[in-house]
């Protein structure tokens, strides 16, 4: 399989039709080898527009989903980014290719895995979560952006938000096939 051809086809047939218009994002997705970020047995499927299993219950987001989230975030060179649920490293590699200073963590507890005083211009949650915990929102600078997928009753929707006075309002972009990210389940309410 010619991965360069598959990468160009991904841009023209998956990204552009899904409103991925940011030039820097398109350039990054056209140059970062997605196939290098999946298990060996999945390399021939690296460019399909579906989640790709990474093992241990983790999956890589489909190209159109990650492309749309990054396009909505509008990352700029020199910004500080936090990738939560870094998994394969693909999303972090895309942001680094654009020129961002990237910190990657796996779990929901950003305070335990990254410097406690670090603040970020943008946060990308690389998977679907039931809720965005406040400690993660607190990592954004004032006006900072957060994007990811939120699951509600089994349906994942891509969302984007901006931090204002320690709060984050999320706007739904579109429903997407994004696999759940472990450790981000909503706390269960007390029941009898």
Ordered alpha helix ranges (H), the chain: 3-10, 23-31, 63-73, 90-98, 110-113, 134-137
Q: Is residue 166 part of a domain?
A: yes
Q: Is residue 185 part of a domain?
A: no
Could you give the CA distance from residue 48 to residue 119 in angstroms, rounded to a whole number? 34
Q: Which domain holds residue 73?
A: 3-175
When pLDDT is cut at 50, 70 and 90, the band that residue 171 belongs to is very high
Q: Is residue 190 part of a domain?
A: no
When pLDDT is cut at 50, 70 and 90, the band that residue 114 belongs to is low
Q: Which residues face 175 on adjacent strands? A: 157
pTM to 2 decimals? Answer: 0.90
Is residue 39 scored above 50 in pLDDT?
Answer: yes
Q: 63-73 vs 90-98: helix axis angle to the nearest 10?
A: 40
pLDDT value at residue 147: 97
Domain holding 37: CATH number?
3.40.50.150
Is residue 157 scored above 70 in pLDDT?
Answer: yes
Q: Is residue 114 part of a domain?
A: yes
- Give me the mean pLDDT over the 27-49 stretch: 95
Q: Is residue 192 part of a domain?
A: no
Structurally, the chain folds into a number of domains equal to 1
Q: Is residue 48 part of a domain?
A: yes
Average pLDDT of the chain? 90
Could you give the CA distance from residue 162 to residue 40 in angstroms, rounded to a whole number? 37
Q: Is residue 61 part of a domain?
A: yes
Q: Is residue 81 part of a domain?
A: yes
Give one word for 23, left, alpha or beta, with left for phi > 0 and alpha for psi -120 to 50: alpha
Is residue 98 scored above 80 in pLDDT?
Answer: yes
């Amino acid at each position: 399989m010619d991965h360069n051809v598959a990468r160009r086809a991904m841009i023209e047939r998956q990204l552009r039709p899904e409103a991925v218009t940011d030039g820097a994002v398109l350039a990054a997705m056209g140059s970062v080898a997605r196939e290098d970020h999946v298990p060996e047995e999945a390399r021939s499927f690296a460019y399909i527009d579906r989640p790709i299993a990474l093992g241990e219950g983790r999956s890589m987001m489909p190209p159109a989903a990650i492309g749309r989230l990054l396009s909505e975030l509008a990352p700029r060179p020199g910004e500080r980014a936090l990738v939560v649920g870094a998994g394969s490293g693909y999303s972090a590699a895309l942001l680094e290719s654009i020129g961002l200073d990237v910190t990657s963590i796996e779990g929901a507890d950003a305070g335990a895995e990254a410097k406690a005083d670090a603040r970020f211009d943008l946060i990308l949650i690389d998977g679907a979560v039931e809720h965005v915990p406040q400690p993660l929102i607190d990592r954004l600078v004032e006006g900072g952006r957060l994007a990811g997928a939120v699951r509600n009753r089994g349906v994942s929707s891509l969302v984007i938000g901006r931090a204002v006075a320690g709060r984050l309002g999320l706007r739904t972009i579109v429903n997407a096939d994004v696999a759940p990210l472990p450790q981000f389940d909503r706390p269960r309410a007390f029941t009898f």
